[in-house]
């Protein structure tokens, strides 16, 4: 099955970030559109106060191409803040 994964490197090992929290299966809806859903193994999401928005809140239900655009924008924003 197809999925969007958030990956991180720890030494020589590549891991899914946050285990199932970084796993978003791609499903085809009734109209034939690819959309992201939450991992069935992600468990309950704990809401945190503040301006940060969890990836799951942003990505679940989003069309795949829009999700990729959103992820790319977020990554660029994070990288810019590190400079």
**Residue carrying the six token digits 């503040």:** 50
pLDDT confidence of 42, banded at 50, 70, 90? confident
Give pLDDT tens digits for 44-70: 666 666 667 777 888 999 999 999 999
Give CB contacts under 8 A, 24+ apart, made by 18-27.
Answer: 21/45, 21/55, 21/56, 22/55, 24/55, 24/56, 24/59, 24/60, 24/67, 25/1, 26/1, 26/2, 26/64
Q: In this structure, what DSSP letter does residue 51 have?
A: S
Q: Is the pTM of this model over 0.85?
A: no
The CA–CA distances, whole Å, from 43 to 2, 38, 40, 56, 69 equal: 20, 9, 7, 11, 26
């Amino acid at each position: 099955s197809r999925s969007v994964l958030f990956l991180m490197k720890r030494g020589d090992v590549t891991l899914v970030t946050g285990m199932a929290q970084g796993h978003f299966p791609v499903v085809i809806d009734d109209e034939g559109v690819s959309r992201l859903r939450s991992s069935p193994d992600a468990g309950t999401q704990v809401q945190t106060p503040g301006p940060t928005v969890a990836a799951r809140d942003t990505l679940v239900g989003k069309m795949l191409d829009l999700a990729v655009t959103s992820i790319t924008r977020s990554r660029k924003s994070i990288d810019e803040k590190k400079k």
